[in-house]
Amino acid sequence: MTGWQGNDRISARIGTLTRPGKDQVYFFIFAFLTSLVSSALAGLAIDIGGGQDVTSQQFACLHDQGAQIAITQLYNSSGSLVEKGVTNILNAYTGAFFDGFNVYITPCLANCADKSTSGVAQVEAVINRLNQEFQDVFIWIQIDKSSGWSSNQQTNQQSIMAILNAVNSTNGAVGIIANYNTWTTYFGSSFTSASTIAQYLLWVNWNGKQDLTTGWVPFGGWTVTQSRLEAG
């Protein structure tokens, strides 16, 4: 099973995403844009948090309602692989013919449960786990305060570049989940190097609007966003 369609992994997901609450599964609006196809096709996708279980039957129901992509957390900021994320991808795969399967990593930078000493080691752990079950699943890196980012922006810049390079060297593509405030706080307003590696941005902006422009301010070198995360 594959996350990005095509060997060159050039497909980008564009749209509005709704993060599920503790006991809920929500939809996010996506369009698909690929250099192999000149037009963008509107669609739905679902984001399953790391603590949630979704059965094959539930995925089938969601697919019947229009969901086309499944995305789930596979590493959390406490420093643990999320096995439920693997199970959810497998359930999505067996439950319906989704167009894609994505995962995201929320790095742990301090006091990690697995005693990990670097974000690179966490990426390697995720990729090794994925390789036991899947092929070519696209990986996002979530920027969140729970990760324990340093107060030193230069240290954070070095950390995120190492993480992105580790994903990109194996998968050939990587995305970032962030907003203006978190990015500029941890990495600085002038830091743009990450966007040269992570060309895909999932913009976190909870404004209730199903578009990609309301409230958008360029940051980190991203002049546009391919997708938007909406609160549930």
Residue 56 falls within a domain, yes or no?
A: yes
Q: What is the mean pLDDT of the chain?
A: 77
Task: Note the pLDDT of residue 182.
Answer: 96
Residue 142 falls within a domain, yes or no?
A: yes
Residue 17 falls within a domain, yes or no?
A: yes
For the chain, the domain total comes to 1
pLDDT-based confidence at residue 45 (cuts at 50, 70, 90):
low
Residue 6 falls within a domain, yes or no?
A: no
The residue segments making up the domain with residue 68 are 12-230
In terms of pLDDT, which residue wins out, 91 or 69? 91
pLDDT at 29 over 50: no
Q: Is 145 helix (H, G, I), strand (E, B) or coil?
A: helix
pTM recorded for the entire structure: 0.80
pLDDT at 158 over 90: yes
Element of type H or E holding 178: strand 175-178
Handedness of CA 205, 211, 216, 220 (dihedral sign): positive
Task: Note the pLDDT of residue 60.
Answer: 83
Residue-wise pLDDT for 200-229, tens only, equals 898 888 877 777 888 999 999 999 887 777
Residue-wise pLDDT for 102-134, tens only, equals 889 999 999 999 998 899 999 999 999 998 988
Residue 40 falls within a domain, yes or no?
A: yes
Residue 23 falls within a domain, yes or no?
A: yes
Question: Hey, what are 49's tokens?
Answer: 């948090």
Task: Note the pLDDT of residue 230.
Answer: 63
Question: Hey, what are 149's tokens?
Answer: 């980012």
Rg for the chain (alpha carbons), in Å?
A: 16
Task: Note the pLDDT of residue 22.
Answer: 33
Whichever domain contains 107, its CATH number is: 3.20.20.80
CA distance 158 to 183: 14
